[in-house]
């Protein structure tokens, strides 16, 4: 199928009729991206120790995918690929970004937001960003408007965290400026050295009154929590971790209210369930799994609030809601939040091997739900292979945007599958582990390319990496948890998949 395929060519006759009758005008699209939420973390994906009723009802009303993939096992490269339709391995500088990284996506690149903007949609980004800001790493003036912002890559409006909650600067950025900037406390940020006289988690562990670090996260202290990187100032603009989800929902809701009468695209990224996990007190102790479980409940509440706002604004039938995660789950990711001790029988990665960072499946096999509007099938479970890499081309098709030459080079239009109207898998999905080694998934097989890394993550979390000096081959249908390496038994298939991976590496 050509990328230029128009919407009507890909939709079922029922959907075309609905469009023609005007029962669905140009649908709003909300891409709700969780952070480090695992395949097994939602009750609609089989979790039994925790209940996520709001997300479950979105899934029940739409299509729930069982073989969906983020492009990478960490956030920055995963988000880069989701928004650009270009595999992160093609670009250096796409590894986990510092909070003072320059904007990684170039203004001249075509993005998912551009696809909507070009179709006349209002576009907005909320929440975790982690793709850099400004034109020069480390040279941002956080007390003025930054010179490169999400507006330069297609988002009309933004209310974001520059990186992650565990990285400075710990302030919300609204349209390129610190939100609620406090002139009495100018902000300075460094990832090289501390500011004189400022306590750190290492020198003043007694000041970590909200969460103690288990590894790393011992530089600046904000809100009684140690962070990665150093900052000074901020004053009243500094966030309170326990309010992050509420702020996100409030700003997203306001945006929907303001755009109830024109189509919008919202890229809505929760901090949940990334570290530091410090949900609002009303979620504390509400799960049997401690703060990580409570953060899952806060995530589910976020989903519920968005759905409720859509209903209140009369937008529920005209909004496509996509819920997914940027990479797989992790228990101890650097704070003493008891995630490991309290996990019990819960399996954050579902039936899959590995976790966040890993080349094994749980690193990047994620929940993926497409729901809402008469366009998406209702109550369907799809086992088709799907990948975030196809977001740009598929959603461009939905809104009738033709991609410019060279845009989203790796993205393929899969709208019918995403809407649950076809069972067709994409031919393959490439994924990148923390050490930048690649795996290739086809509907039936998985190849992990050889790489030199250690077999376990080295800095804290107990995670099998899947890195081996020889290629590994797994038959996914029979061996979903990657126990039996078949590379020696099927050398020809292994070679063919290595060749396919090489050709994908060489050309989009």
Minimum CB separation from ligand NG6 for residue 324, in Å? 14
Cis bond before residue 309 (omega within 30° of 0)? no
Q: Is 93 in the site for ligand NG6 (CB under 6 A)?
A: no
Restricting to residues 64-83, name those near ligand NG6 by CB under 6 A: 74-75
Confirm or reject binding of residue 228 to ligand NG6 (CB under 6 A). Answer: yes
Spatial separation of the C-alpha atoms in residues 197 and 46, rounded to whole Å: 50
Per CB under 6 A, which of residues 450..489 are in contact with ligand NG6?
Answer: 459-460
Q: In this complex, which beta carbon is closest to ligand NG6, that of residue 75 or of residue 358?
A: 75
Rounded least distance, CB 53 to ligand NG6, Å: 26
Are the C-beta atoms of residues 237 and 179 closer than 8 Å to each other? yes
Question: Distance (Å, rounded) from C-alpha 208 to C-alpha 278?
Answer: 13
The site for Ca ion, by CB under 5 A, has a size of 5
Among residues 56, 114, 166, 305, which is the contact residue for ligand NG6, using CB under 6 A? 166
441: phi then psi, degrees, rounded to nearest 5: -105, 135
Residue number of the CB closest to ligand NG6 reads 216
Alpha carbon distances (Å) from 121 to 118, 220, 445: 7, 40, 39
> How many angstroms separate the CA atoms of 31 and 262, rounded?
17
| Interacting residues of 121 by C-beta distance below 8 A, sequence separation 6+ | 26, 28, 29, 262, 263, 264, 265, 399
CB nearer to Ca ion: give 176 or 363.
Answer: 363
According to DSSP, the residues that pair with 189 across neighbouring strands are 231
- Mark out the alpha helices in 282-414 (DSSP H runs): 290-312, 391-399
**Shortest distance (Å) from residue 183 CB to ligand NG6:** 30
Subset of 351-390 contacting ligand NG6 (CB under 6 A): none
Distance in Å, CB of 359 to ligand NG6, minimum: 15
Number of residues that bind ligand NG6 (CB under 6 A): 19
**Of these partners, Ca ion, ligand NG6, none, which one is at the site of residue 333 (CB under 5 to 8 Å by kind)?**
ligand NG6
DSSP state of 284: T
For Ca ion, the closer CB: 78 or 494: 78
333 binds Ca ion (CB under 5 A): no
For the chain, the C-alpha Rg in angstroms (whole number) is 22
CA distance 71 to 392: 13
Region binding Ca ion by CB under 5 A among candidate stretches 27-35, 175-183, 208-216, 287-295: 27-35
Smallest gap from Cβ 379 to Ca ion, in A, equals: 29
Minimum distance of Ca ion from residue 74's CB (angstroms): 6
What is d(CA 192, CA 229) in angstroms, rounded to the nearest whole number? 8
- Contact between 75 and Ca ion (CB under 5 A)? yes
Least distance to ligand NG6 from the beta carbon of 230, Å? 14
Among 3, 36, 201, 335, binds Ca ion (CB under 5 A): 36
> Cis bond leading into 276, ω under 30°?
yes
Question: Least distance in Å: CB of 75 to Ca ion?
Answer: 4
Long-range contacts of 181-184 (CB under 8 A, 24+ apart): 181/143, 181/237, 182/233, 182/234, 182/235, 182/236, 182/237, 183/143, 184/235
Q: Identify any residues that bridge with 190 across adjacent strands, giving them in sequence order.
A: 230
Which of ligand NG6, Ca ion, none is residue 228 near (CB under 5 to 8 Å by kind)? ligand NG6
Q: Phi first, then psi: what are they for 356, rounded to 5°?
A: -40, 145
User: Taking contact as CB under 5 A, which single stretch among the options 8-16, 35-43, 192-200, 228-236 is the one that binds Ca ion?
Assistant: 35-43
145 lines the binding site for ligand NG6 (CB under 6 A): no
Restricted to residues 94-133, the positions that interact with ligand NG6 (CB under 6 A) are 96, 130
Using CB under 6 A, which residues numbered 31 to 50 contact ligand NG6? 35-36
How many C-beta atoms surround the C-beta of residue 503 within 10 A? 9
CB 443 within 8 A of CB 435: no
Closer residue to ligand NG6 (CB): 54 or 130:
130
Options 47-55, 177-185, 213-221, 316-324: segment touching ligand NG6 (CB under 6 A)? 213-221
Stretch that binds ligand NG6, among 26-34, 182-190, 212-220, 234-242 (CB under 6 A): 212-220
What is the Cα–Cα distance from 339 to 274, expressed in whole angstroms? Answer: 12
Backbone angles phi, psi at 239, to 5 degrees: -80, 160
For position 94 contacting Ca ion by CB under 5 A, the verdict is: no
List beta partners, residue 33. 269, 324
Cis check for the bond before 143: say yes or no (omega within 30 of 0): no
The smaller minimum CB distance to ligand NG6, of residues 274 and 346, is found at 274
Per CB under 6 A, does 275 bind ligand NG6? yes
Residue 284 CB coordination number (10 Å):
15
Judge contact between 51 and 333, C-beta under 8 A. Answer: no
Q: Distance of alpha carbon 135 from its chain centroid, rounded?
A: 23
List of residues contacting Ca ion (CB under 5 A): 35-36, 75, 326-327
Residues that bind ligand NG6 (CB under 6 A): 35-36, 74-75, 96, 130, 164, 166, 215-217, 228, 274-275, 327, 333-334, 459-460
């Amino acid at each position: 199928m050509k990328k230029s395929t128009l919407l009507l060519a890909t939709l079922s006759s029922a959907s075309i009729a609905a469009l023609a009758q005007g029962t669905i005008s140009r649908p709003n699209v909300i891409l709700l991206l969780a952070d480090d939420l695992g395949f097994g973390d939602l009750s609609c994906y089989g979790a039994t120790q925790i209940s996520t009723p709001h997300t479950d009802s979105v899934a029940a009303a739409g299509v729930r995918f069982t073989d969906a993939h983020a492009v990478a096992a960490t956030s920055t490269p995963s988000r880069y690929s989701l928004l650009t339709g270009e595999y992160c391995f093609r670009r250096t500088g796409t590894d986990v970004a510092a909070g003072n990284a320059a904007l990684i996506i170039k203004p001249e690149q075509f993005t998912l937001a551009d696809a909507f903007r070009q179709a006349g949609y209002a576009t907005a980004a909320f929440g975790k960003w982690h793709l850099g800001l400004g034109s020069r790493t480390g040279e941002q003036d956080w007390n003025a408007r930054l010179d490169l912002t999400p507006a330069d890559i297609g988002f009309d409006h933004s209310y974001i965290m520059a990186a992650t909650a565990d990285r400075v600067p710990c302030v919300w950025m609204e349209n390129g400026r610190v939100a609620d900037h406090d002139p009495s406390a100018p902000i300075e940020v460094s990832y090289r050295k501390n500011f004189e006289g400022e306590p750190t988690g290492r020198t003043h562990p007694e000041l970590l009154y909200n969460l103690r670090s288990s590894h790393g996260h011992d530089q600046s202290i904000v809100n009684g929590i140690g962070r990665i990187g150093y900052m000074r100032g901020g004053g009243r603009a500094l966030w309170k971790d326990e309010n992050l989800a509420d702020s996100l929902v409030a700003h997203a809701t306001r945006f929907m209210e303001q755009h109830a009468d024109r189509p919008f695209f919202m890229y809505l990224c929760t901090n949940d369930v990334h570290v530091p996990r410090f949900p609002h007190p009303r979620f504390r102790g509400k799960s049997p799994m401690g703060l990580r479980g409570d953060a899952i409940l806060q995530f589910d509440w976020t989903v519920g609030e968005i759905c409720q706002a859509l209903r209140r604004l009369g937008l529920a039938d005209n909004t496509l809601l996509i819920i997914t995660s940027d990479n797989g789950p992790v228990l101890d990711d650097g704070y003493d939040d008891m995630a490991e001790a309290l996990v019990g029988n819960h399996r954050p990665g579902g039936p899959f091997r590995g976790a966040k960072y890993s080349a094994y499946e749980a690193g990047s096999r994620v929940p993926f739900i497409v729901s809402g509007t008469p366009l998406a099938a209702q109550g369907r479970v799809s086992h088709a292979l799907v990948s975030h890499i196809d977001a740009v081309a598929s959603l461009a098709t939905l809104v009738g945007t033709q991609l410019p030459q060279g845009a989203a080079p790796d993205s393929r239009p899969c709208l019918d599958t995403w809407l649950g109207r076809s069972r067709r898998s994409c031919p393959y999905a490439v994924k990148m582990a923390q050490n930048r080694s690649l795996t290739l998934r086809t509907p039936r097989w998985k190849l992990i390319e050889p790489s030199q890394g250690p077999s376990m993550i080295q800095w804290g979390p107990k995670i099998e990496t899947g890195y081996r000096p020889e290629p590994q081959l797994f038959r996914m249908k029979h061996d979903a948890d990657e126990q039996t390496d078949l590379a020696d038994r099927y050398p020809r298939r292994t070679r063919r998949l290595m060749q396919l991976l090489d050709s994908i590496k060489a050309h989009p």
